[in-house]
Chain A
Amino acid sequence: MSAGELLIDDATIRYTTGGRDVLACDGVSFTVAEGSFIALVGQSGCGKTSLLYAMDGLIPLTRGRISVNGSTVEGPGKNRALVFQSPTLFPWRDVTGNITYGIEGTTSKAQANRVASELVELVGLSGFERHHPHELSGGMQQRVNLARALAVDPDVLLLDEPFSALDAQTRENMQRELLRIWRERAAGGRELTMIFVTHDIPEAVYLADRVIVLGSRPGHVRADVAIDFPRPRDLELKRDAAFQEHVERISLLLDGQDTA
């Protein structure tokens, strides 16, 4: 039985903001196999964050259906977790307290702390357990944000441009780390389906098995590109000619929309 299978069928999101009717996504459909890594790329305003929030259940679909493991998403659920674009950590909680936030109501304190110490280790924050968010760098805050989402042990992890605010070097570091964490989870028998929203094409190509290119206004699937570089992937890969080819092709696909 597959645990992290995701089905997006004719997803359409319409909402009103400031008295204006906005069609964020129009008839988006794709399926994601358990344990695979999908990158959603698109320019700002293509509704990729709306789509991600809809997968989490934070905003409703106007039309269509999203299902995880065969059951329709009707609201936030324990089988999905969202890594927000800005870390949004609670300043009054330390690193451990932030990581355990999502599981406190459902597990014992001892168990929550065990999970937290494992995750602190996994995301590379050992020694910072008692630090408060403002004492951490942006990259470290995003590690906590990631660990907080992993703590609920989701089947699907939804990531909303989590590295966009980081400097180039930290960002590459985090990309490699994310792949390591994903691989280690899978090796431990916990296949994790990743949906990673970004507008950074090299990032998408480096991370994903498939890059889904969304066109703008309203958001719709423009292309679905398979990336079959072997794993584990090294950052060296980014200098590979085949890698560059993928990046260029996807760039063209993205730009095509605006000139058309």
Chain B
Amino acid sequence: MTASLAPASTARQRDPEERRRSRQRSLRGLAGLVLFFAVWQVLFELHQLNPLFVGSPSGMARSLYHLFATGSIWPDLRESGIEFVLGFLIGAGSGVLLGVLIGWFTFVDDFLDPLIAAFYATPYVAFLPLIVVWLGIGVWAKVAIVVWAAFFAVLINTIAGVKNTPPEYLRVARSFCIPRITLLRTVVIPSAVPYVLAGLRQSIGRGLVGVIVAEFFLASKGIGFFITSATTTFRANDAFAAIFITAVVGLALVRGVGVIERRVGRRWGLTTKS
């Protein structure tokens, strides 16, 4: 029996000790962030940092305010956002679909396993020049890199989820004479859900890297492009503002999936402690 599938013995209510500990953790995390920005600001004020290349938290804040107040960041944000969402949907969607098929037909999995492992281990941005050759430098090249980034993370996790369907569940289904196709729908896919969610969470970070890096090289718009142009024109505060936006978006998306994961975990009584 896998540990992650052991039913939680206690009911839904978390005990006060655990709640106190979690509040303490959040407070300390917040303090860490504040400290980081404070040290950075102090170093800047003491003229230890070159404002052309590094900037300061206060400068970054001003820059952020300016970018949103004038709305000048929106076209770039929209461009990157479309690339990311399209690529993520296509990559994750096909990853789940193919993952279920490959995980289900062990014969296919035997054939593809080394190939998939190799693709997953290869830094996908290495394919960027080739993608440019294939698709040009338009939006689709950047969508493709996100698809690539998201696809393999979701695929690998989905395959693992399908293959790790607890054998005792399969035995229950067999005892009740459940047809194989129904078995897939009623047992295999639901029991793979936590794995799929973990894959989605991983692929968000990978997809964001894909967008930014692609835009470094082949864009005249988008957050990645904004970062390069701000840096090369010595607008360090603007560059940091854009990086900050990326970080917030990434964190929000990862947290969002995390919330879904925890909700599924609680509802199903899985112990998904990270």
CA distance A82 to B177 in the complex (A): 11
Near B by CB (< 8 A), chain A positions 55-80 give 56, 58, 75-78
Near B by CB (< 8 A), chain A positions 61-110 give 75-78, 81-82, 84, 86, 88, 90-92, 101-102, 104-105
Closest to B190 in A: A92
Closest to A85 in B: B168
CA distance A75 to B179 in the complex (A): 13
Chain B residues, CB < 8 A from A134 = 7-8, 268-269
User: If A92-B268, A133-B269, A135-B11 touch, does A84 touch B172 (CB 8 Å cutoff)?
Assistant: yes
Q: Please tell me the size bucket of the interface on B.
A: 20 to 34
B187 touches A77 (CB 8 A): no
CA distance A76 to B179 in the complex (A): 12
A152 touches B12 (CB 8 A): no
A88 touches B178 (CB 8 A): no
User: If A101-B186, A134-B8 touch, does A56 touch B179 (CB 8 Å cutoff)?
Assistant: no
**Interface SS of chain B:** helix
Residue from A58, A91, A101, A102 within 8 A of B7 (CB atoms): A91
Interface residue tally for chain A (C-beta within 8 Å): 23
A77 touches B177 (CB 8 A): yes
Residue from A58, A88, A102, A133 within 8 A of B169 (CB atoms): A88
Chain B 1-41 interface 0/1 with A at a Cβ cutoff of 8 Å (1 = within):
00001011001100000000000000000000000000000
B175 touches A91 (CB 8 A): no
- Asked if B243 lies at the interface with its beta carbon under 8 angstroms from chain A, I say no
Chain A residues, CB < 8 A from B8 = 134
Closest to B178 in A: A105
**Interface SS of chain A:** loop
- Asked if A132 lies at the interface with its beta carbon under 8 angstroms from chain B, I say yes
CA distance A132 to B268 in the complex (A): 7
Chain A residues, CB < 8 A from B175 = 56, 58, 76, 81-82
Say how far B266's CB is from chain A's closest CB, in angstroms: 9
B269 touches A91 (CB 8 A): yes
CA distance A57 to B251 in the complex (A): 51
- Asked if B257 lies at the interface with its beta carbon under 8 angstroms from chain A, I say no
A135 touches B177 (CB 8 A): no
- Asked if B111 lies at the interface with its beta carbon under 8 angstroms from chain A, I say no
Residue from A58, A90, A102, A105 within 8 A of B187 (CB atoms): A90
User: If A58-B171, A105-B182, A132-B267 touch, does A90 touch B190 (CB 8 Å cutoff)?
Assistant: yes
Closest to A152 in B: B176
Closest to B170 in A: A88
- Asked if B54 lies at the interface with its beta carbon under 8 angstroms from chain A, I say no
Chain A residues, CB < 8 A from B85 = none
Besides the known contacts A56-B175, A84-B171, A133-B269, 18 further A-B residue pairs in the complex with CB atoms under 8 A apart? A58-B171, A76-B174, A76-B176, A84-B168, A84-B172, A88-B166, A88-B169, A90-B169, A90-B187, A90-B190, A92-B193, A101-B176, A101-B178, A102-B178, A132-B268, A134-B8, A134-B269, A152-B176
Measured CB to CB, the residues of B under 8 A from A are: 5, 7-8, 11-12, 166, 168-169, 171-172, 174-179, 182, 186-187, 190-191, 193, 267-270
Give 7 pairs: A residue, B residue, CB < 8 Å, sorted on A.
A76-B174, A77-B177, A91-B270, A92-B191, A101-B176, A101-B178, A134-B8
